[in-house]
Amino acid sequence: MAGREPHPDDPFPGAVPLPLDGVLDLHGFRPADVGDLVPEWIDASASAGLTELRIVHGKGTGALRRTVEALLARHPRVAAFRTAGEDAGGWGATLVTLKR
């Protein structure tokens, strides 16, 4: 595999980094699974120069949305967040603006 040196402690030695596009799809994740994922993704997105993000959590019971919103409210890089418009997922997605 070109471009990536495996690390002996890497749990996914064949994993290939994906480019950041500003969208995180959490379908299939439980609220307990996203406590580290969302903040790390925000930090990576900010480091890549992204300032407008969309987190797709689905509509479901709202538990995942509430967890995501709690994480966003505490994250120091988040300037604001809001429910997406109908064209971007409605209440099944959250739009995030990062501080510059």
| SS3 call for 79 | strand
- pLDDT band, very low/low/confident/very high, at 7 (cuts 50, 70, 90): low
CATH of residue 50's domain is 3.30.1370.110
Structure tokens at 93: 């997605």
Regarding pTM above 0.95, the answer is no
Name residues whose C-beta falls within 8 Å of residue 52's C-beta, 6 or more positions apart in sequence. Answer: 22, 95, 96, 97, 98
* pLDDT, tens only, 17-52: 767 899 999 999 999 999 999 999 999 999 999 999
Average pLDDT over residues 54-83: 97
Domain count across the chain: 1
pLDDT at 91 over 90: yes
**Are the C-beta atoms of 68 and 32 separated by less than 8 Å?**
no
Name residues whose C-beta falls within 8 Å of residue 84's C-beta, 6 or more positions apart in sequence. Answer: 54, 90, 91, 92, 93, 94, 95
User: Is 15 within the bounds of a domain?
Assistant: no
Domain that holds residue 39: 27-98
